[in-house]
Structure 1
Amino acid sequence: MNFASDNIVGASAPVLQAIMQANAGAMAAYSNDEISKRVKARFNEIFEREVSVFFVTTGTAANALALSSAVPPYGLCVCHQEAHIIDDECGAPEFFMHGAKLAGLPGMGAKLKSDEVAAYLQGLPKAVKQMPPKALSVSQVTECGMVYALDEIAALGAVCREHGLSFHMDGARFVNALVALGCTPAEMTWKRGVDILSFGATKNGGLMAEAIVVFRPDLAEALDYRSKRAGQIISKGRLIAAQFEGYFADDHWLENARHANRMAKLLSEGLSGLSGVRLGWPTQANEVFPIIPQALDRALKAAGILYNSWTEISLPESERVGADEALIRLVTSWATREEDVRRLLEIASSEVSRQAAE
C-alpha cells in the first residue's frame, strides 16, 4: 500500500487511449498539429475566455518558465517558505529567471495571508540596493494540503494589483482544489486576479501532461522562445496534447480528483477517530497529515505501508509534535483503492488497541 504521493501511479486508461489514438499516422511537429489546436481551444472553453497555452512535460518546467515570464533577473518573487518552487525544484525557477530571487514568507498550512504579504511588500526598501518584488506565487493545493478559498485568492490578487506584481498559481493539484471548492476554473483563477497558472495533470491521471496557462497576453509574449531554450517544445507535441484530450473528455479529470479527495476524507476521518491521533491541518483535498504516536508509525511501516514524514514548520502556533510522536503525510490519488484505505485503518486501529491494552 503506497500513500507516498499521487504521482506514483501510472496514467489513467482514457489518457493512454488518447495517446494511442494520436500515435497513428503523421502529423505536424512541435504542437502545430490539429490535436494541439483542439486542446488549446478546449482550454479556452474551460477558462471561459481566450488564453495562451504552452505544453510542457514537468511541473518544474511549468513553474520555472511561468515565473521567468513575470520576473526579470533583478526581481523578487514572493512565495511561502515551504512552497514547492523554493523547496523542491533545485533552484530551477531562479535559474530560468536568470538570477532573480525567491523570498519565502511564513504562514500556517503553507498558506499566505493577504495582509501579511502586503505588510512585507510595504516594508521593503525602495532603494536600488533592494531587488524589487515582481511576482507572487501561491500553491493551490498548498504543501500542507490546504486550499485557498476564493476570497483569499481575490485578496491576494488585490495586493498584487496594488503593488504591481504578477500573480502566479502553482496548480500541480489544481483540480483537487477545484472540486473541493465546487467552483469553475475561471472563478479560481483570472476572475480572482491570477495572471498565469501552472496547470498540472500528471498527478491526476496524466502520463507527463503539464501546461502553462496565461491570462495576460504580455506574459505570453516570450514564452515560445523561453520554452524552446528550455527544451520544452516537444517534437511529437501531439502526444503531450493528446493526454489533455483524454483527460478532459467526459469530465474524466474532475471525477479522478473527486475520487482522490473522497479517499483522503475517508482516510482522514478514520485516523482522526483513533485515540492518540490528531490532524496537523484539516484535510481539504487529497492529502492527509496526521500526528501519530511513534509506535503507530513503526507499526504502519512494518506492515509495508509507504508514506513520508513531514515538517512541522507550518503547524498552527498552538500545535506541536511531541517527542514520542511523528507528523506524516498520506496522499491519495485517482487510482487509490478504497480497500487499501480501509486496510490501513484496520492496521492502525489494531495497533492503537494493542497499545491501549498494554
Structure 2
Amino acid sequence: MNFASDNTAGVSPEVLEAITQANTGSALPYGNDDLTAKIEKRFNEFFEYETTSFLVPTGTAANALALSALAPSYGSIYCHRDAHINCDECGAPEFYTAGAKLVTLHGPHGKLHSGELETTLSATSTAVHHNQPAAISISQASEAGTIYGLGEIHQLSEVAKENGLYLHMDGARFANALCTLGASPADMTWKSGVDVLCFGATKNGAMSAEAVIFFNQDLAQSFGYKRKRGGHLFSKMRYLAAQWDAYLTNDLWFKNASHANAMAQMLKSGLENLPGAELYYQVEANEVFISMPENVLKVLENAGYVFYRWHDAASPVIRLVTSFETKEEDVKGFIETARAAS
C-alpha cells in the first residue's frame, strides 16, 4: 500500500466519465467552449461570489502564475519556510514573477502567524536597495497537514491590508481543509480576506485540474496573458473543465476529501499510542506525521508499505498521506503490522 502521497491515487470514476463525455463532437479551443463557460459560472455559485477563474493543469503552474499577478519583480512574497512554493516548485514563483523574492518565516505547526509577520514587515526598509513587500502566501491545508482557522486567515489578511499586500492561498488540499473546518468555500476565502486562491482538485480525485480563482478582480486583468505566455493555456480546455464539472457535481469534492481525512484519523488513532510513537504535528487533514522506532519502520518497509521519511532518509519521522482511494483494510493492515513490530 502506498502512503507516500495523495498523488499516487488514481482518478475518480466520475471524473473519467466526464472526460469521456466531453470527448464527443467538436468544441471551440482555448477556453471558448461551452463547458469552460459553465464551470466559470459554477465557481461563482460555489464561492457565492463573482469570481474570475482560469483553469491550469498543475498546482505549481497555478501558484507561480497567481503570484506573478500579485508581486512585481522587485517584490517580496512572505511564506512559511516549509511552504510548497518555497521547497517544492523548483524556483517557479521566482521565475514567473521575473525575480520576486520569497521571504520565509518560521511558525509552529507549519503555519504563518500574524504577530511574527507584523514584526517582520515593521522592520522592512523602503530604501531602493531592498525588495518591497508585495504578497503573503499561505497553504490550506499546510505542508504539515495542519489547517488555518478562519480567525487566523482573517488576522493575516488584516496584516496584508494594513501593509498594502495581497493574500494568496495555495489550496492544493483546499477540500480537505473545508471538510475539517465545516466552513463554506466563501467563509474560507473572500470572506476571510483572500485575494486569490489556487484551488486544487488533482490530489482529490481529478486527473490534472487546478483553478486560479480571483476574488480581487483587478489582479485578474493581465492573468490570461501570463497563462498563455507561461505555456499553460490548454487548447482543448474542455478536458480540464470536464474534470471540474464532475468534481463539483453531487459534492464529489466533499465525499473524496471526507474519506481521505477519515482514513488519516484512523491511522492517527491506531498509531499514536504505540510504544515509541509520537505525533509530529496534529492531524487535521489527510496527512499524518509521526515518529516511530527504526525497527518498526524497517518492518513496515519490508512488508511493502511505501511512505516518505521526513527531512532525510534516516529520519524516524514519516509522512503518511491518505486519499479518496485509501481502503480501511489497508489502514488496519498498516496499524496491525506496526503494532506487531512494536
TM-score range, shorter chain: over 0.9
Q: In the aligned structure 2, how far is the partner of 1:219 from the partner of 1:61?
A: 17
Query: Aligned match of 1:332 in 311, 316, 322?
Result: 322
In the other structure, the counterpart of 1:298 is 298
Contact 1:293 1:325 in 2 (8 A): no
Q: In the aligned structure 1, how far is the partner of 2:30 from the partner of 2:315?
A: 51
Query: Aligned match of 1:344 in 334, 337, 340?
Result: 334
In the other structure, the counterpart of 2:239 is 239
Q: TM-score, normalising length from structure 2? A: 0.98
- Map residues 1-358 of structure 1 onto 2, 5 A cutoff: 1-311=1-311, 326-352=316-342
Q: In the aligned structure 2, how far is the partner of 1:253 from the partner of 1:126?
A: 44
Give the AA of the match of 2:279: L
Contact 2:309 2:315 in 1 (8 A): no
Q: Helix, strand or coil: the match of 1:211? A: strand
Q: In the aligned structure 2, how far is the partner of 1:227 from the partner of 1:84?
A: 20
Q: Helix, strand or coil: the match of 2:292? A: strand
Q: In the aligned structure 1, how far is the partner of 2:43 from the partner of 2:156?
A: 24
Q: Deviations over 1:159-192 (max 9, x none)?
A: 0000000000000000000000000011001101
Uncovered stretches (5+) of structure 2, i.e. residues with no partner? none
Contact 2:15 2:205 in 1 (8 A): yes
Q: In the aligned structure 2, how far is the partner of 1:311 from the partner of 1:133?
A: 30
Uncovered stretches (5+) of structure 1, i.e. residues with no partner? 313-323, 353-358
Question: How many percent identity over aligned positions?
Answer: 50
Q: In the aligned structure 2, how far is the partner of 1:107 from the partner of 1:182?
A: 24
Give the AA of the match of 2:82: E
In the other structure, the counterpart of 1:317 is none
Q: In the aligned structure 1, how far is the partner of 2:16 from the partner of 2:307?
A: 27
Contact 1:114 1:159 in 2 (8 A): yes
User: How has the CA–CA distance of structure 1 residues 98 and 70 changed in structure 2, closer, same or farther, with 3 Å as cutoff?
Assistant: same
Q: Deviations over 1:176-229 (max 9, x none)?
A: 000000000110011011000110000000000000000011110000000000
Q: In the aligned structure 2, how far is the partner of 1:28 from the partner of 1:276?
A: 59
Please state how far the C-alpha of 1:16 moved relative to its aligned partner. Answer: 0.5
Please state how far the C-alpha of 1:130 moved relative to its aligned partner. Answer: 1.2
Q: Helix, strand or coil: the match of 2:316? A: strand
Aligned residues: 341
Give the AA of the match of 2:338: A
RMSD: 1.0
Contact 2:259 2:323 in 1 (8 A): yes
Q: In the aligned structure 1, how far is the partner of 2:145 from the partner of 2:22?
A: 35
Q: TM-score, normalising length from structure 1? A: 0.94
Contact 2:84 2:143 in 1 (8 A): yes
Please state how far the C-alpha of 1:325 moved relative to its aligned partner. Answer: 6.7
Q: Helix, strand or coil: the match of 2:7? A: coil
